[in-house]
A and B are shown apart, each in its own frame.
Chain A
């Protein structure tokens, strides 16, 4: 991600989004070609998918479904980001505790969490709390790991400077540790965002009669490839837009790093 920090001048600032748009155009073209090769049952054309998407967006119960998903996602994201930040800071600040729990977290990260789903359902029942729990479970781990690493890897000279400038521990945390680690913590936030969304959607696929995840499962069971692709398109668009925004914030945080 370093190649772009040099292109800070306003003249070239518009170049990156334009290039991304160009790439997207190429991908859509490839999609259409693939569609022509494998047929409409396997892969609907971009046009067909877009049309279906517009119809979905206009349909009466779409808003309710989307709202349901966003609500669950919102709660899960809050837990992932804030809970993950707090936990990560704690584990990063105290070396031994961090050493003890890091492999546990890394292992949890590696488990197909979908297989823990029965346990979540049994504990939380069917409904929004299971979705939130599942989403948070997916998203909190990278946030904790990134935050912990950031705090541990803070340059020692910053901490010595804080001591030399006679800062209290609280002032050190707030005015030195936090700004110094913010860029990396934010990278964790970005990964956490994507995974929380994934977790929430997967949760909806099983624990719900509402929500976008449910709509996808419904389309899968009723063999409606156009709906599947339309919803996938919607998700890709949403996730990409959100990621781009977060990426822009990320770049601004790194302006001097």
Chain B
């Protein structure tokens, strides 16, 4: 699938040594207003993503998972520490080569599926012919070819998320950030979407960071899983799953699956209780 592949000089094997992104000593503090104290939402935390790896982040509610993604994407500046993407610093703009899929449905309800997918490319002034090719490939890849002329309102939740992924895919991101993209979907759809994401990951050779609250999803999809503490979040453990690159949701049958998931929960249980008492 040449149209979806990353640029030729990217190495498609996980842990190949080159860093896709790096967070060093990053923390994010939301300033207080006159009436509210400042909120220390994240960090200080460190993270290194190798080119082409699949990294999942799990943690209790409110630990700053989404803030982590915002900082990494350049949507939100860190209060301290440095953020780098492909060796270059990330400041207050989203760098070229980074794609984000949000938890909420971000499909533009006034555009058809095809126009939605083409949106990012059109704003970049790419030729209509190339747009048509790339959009067609992305839509077919995400299984939406039959609905190209439909509007998001006519699609199910899962299909809309696939559309959002297609919209990002078309831009050929080298780093793909997914913020609980399947949070609003039912379990079976989630599992199938997980397979889709794995397929996408292998075909594009991109680096993927997935935020999820579902431990089994993290275990199933990722090469490494980072466990965050309660707020202010930092990594208390990073578990390597050791799965082969060619994997899908049937990996749940392996005994190691249960072990990894159990290990994640053992870390997470105490932090989750801490987080719950904070918000009580």
In the complex, what distance in Å separates the CA atom of A255 from the CA atom of B154? 10
User: When the two chains form the complex, which single residue of A155, A166, A256 contacts B151, counting CB atoms closer than 8 Å?
Assistant: A256
Q: Is the interface of A mostly helix, strand, loop or mixed?
A: helix
A256 B152 Cβ-Cβ under 8 A: yes
> What per-residue 1/0 map shows which CB atoms of A151-163 lie under 8 Å from chain B?
0000111101101
Chain B residues with CB under 8 Å of A256's CB are 109-110, 151-154
The stretch of A26-34, A105-113, A175-183 that contacts the partner chain: A175-183
Decide yes or no whether A167 CB sits under 8 A from chain B. Answer: yes
In the complex, what distance in Å separates the CA atom of A179 from the CA atom of B111? 9
Closest residue of chain A to B119, judged by CB?
A: A165
Chain B residues with CB under 8 Å of A163's CB are 75, 94
Given A180-B110, A255-B151, A256-B110: A164 in contact with B73 (beta carbons within 8 A): yes
Residues 116 to 134 of chain A near chain B (Cβ within 8 Å):
none
Chain A residues with CB under 8 Å of B104's CB are 155-157
Chain A residues with CB under 8 Å of B88's CB are none
The number of chain B residues with a CB under 8 A from chain A is 26
Chain A residues with CB under 8 Å of B75's CB are 160, 163-164
Decide yes or no whether A64 CB sits under 8 A from chain B. Answer: no
Decide yes or no whether A54 CB sits under 8 A from chain B. Answer: no
In the complex, what distance in Å separates the CA atom of A157 from the CA atom of B104? 7
Query: Which of A161, A167, A175, A255 has the most B CB atoms < 10 Å from its CB?
Result: A161
Decide yes or no whether A257 CB sits under 8 A from chain B. Answer: yes
Chain A residues with CB under 8 Å of B110's CB are 179-180, 182, 256-257
Decide yes or no whether B100 CB sits under 8 A from chain A. Answer: yes
Decide yes or no whether A171 CB sits under 8 A from chain B. Answer: yes
Query: Which of B96, B100, B105 has the most A CB atoms < 10 Å from its CB?
Result: B100
Chain B residues with CB under 8 Å of A257's CB are 109-110, 153
A166 B93 Cβ-Cβ under 8 A: yes
Decide yes or no whether B205 CB sits under 8 A from chain A. Answer: no
User: When the two chains form the complex, which single residue of A160, A167, A182 contacts B102, counting CB atoms closer than 8 Å?
Assistant: A160
Decide yes or no whether B123 CB sits under 8 A from chain A. Answer: yes
Chain A residues with CB under 8 Å of B106's CB are 157-158, 160-161
Decide yes or no whether B59 CB sits under 8 A from chain A. Answer: no
A171 B123 Cβ-Cβ under 8 A: yes
B109 A165 Cβ-Cβ under 8 A: no
Closest beta carbon of chain B to A44's beta carbon, Å: 48
Interface size class, chain A? 20 to 34
Chain A residues with CB under 8 Å of B120's CB are 165-166
User: When the two chains form the complex, which single residue of A157, A175, A182 contacts B119, counting CB atoms closer than 8 Å?
Assistant: A175
Given A163-B75, A165-B119, A166-B94: A158 in contact with B99 (beta carbons within 8 A): no
A165 B123 Cβ-Cβ under 8 A: yes
In the complex, what distance in Å separates the CA atom of A91 from the CA atom of B108? 24
Closest residue of chain B to A178, judged by CB?
A: B110
B108 A167 Cβ-Cβ under 8 A: no
A157 B153 Cβ-Cβ under 8 A: no
User: When the two chains form the complex, which single residue of B96, B105, B109 contacts A166, counting CB atoms closer than 8 Å?
Assistant: B96
Residues 99 to 126 of chain B near chain A (Cβ within 8 Å):
99-100, 102, 104-106, 108-111, 119-120, 123
Chain B residues with CB under 8 Å of A165's CB are 94, 119-120, 123, 167, 171
In the complex, what distance in Å separates the CA atom of A182 from the CA atom of B108? 13
Closest beta carbon of chain B to A54's beta carbon, Å: 44
Query: Which of A155, A164, A171, A176 has the most B CB atoms < 10 Å from its CB?
Result: A164
Chain A residues with CB under 8 Å of B167's CB are 165
In the complex, what distance in Å separates the CA atom of A232 from the CA atom of B98? 62
In the complex, what distance in Å separates the CA atom of A190 from the CA atom of B241? 59
Chain A residues with CB under 8 Å of B168's CB are 164
Closest beta carbon of chain B to A117's beta carbon, Å: 41
In the complex, what distance in Å separates the CA atom of A165 from the CA atom of B152? 19
In the complex, what distance in Å separates the CA atom of A140 from the CA atom of B105? 34
Closest beta carbon of chain B to A170's beta carbon, Å: 11
User: When the two chains form the complex, which single residue of A155, A160, A175, A179 contacts B123, counting CB atoms closer than 8 Å?
Assistant: A175
Chain B residues with CB under 8 Å of A160's CB are 75, 100, 102, 106
Q: A157-B104, A164-B94, A164-B100 given; name 6 further pairs at CB < 8 Å.
A: A157-B105, A157-B106, A165-B167, A166-B96, A256-B152, A257-B153
Chain A residues engaging chain B, CB cutoff 8 angstroms: 155-158, 160-161, 163-167, 171, 175-176, 179-180, 182, 255-257
7 residue pairs bridging A and B, Cβ less than 8 Å apart: A157-B104, A164-B75, A180-B108, A180-B109, A255-B151, A256-B109, A257-B110
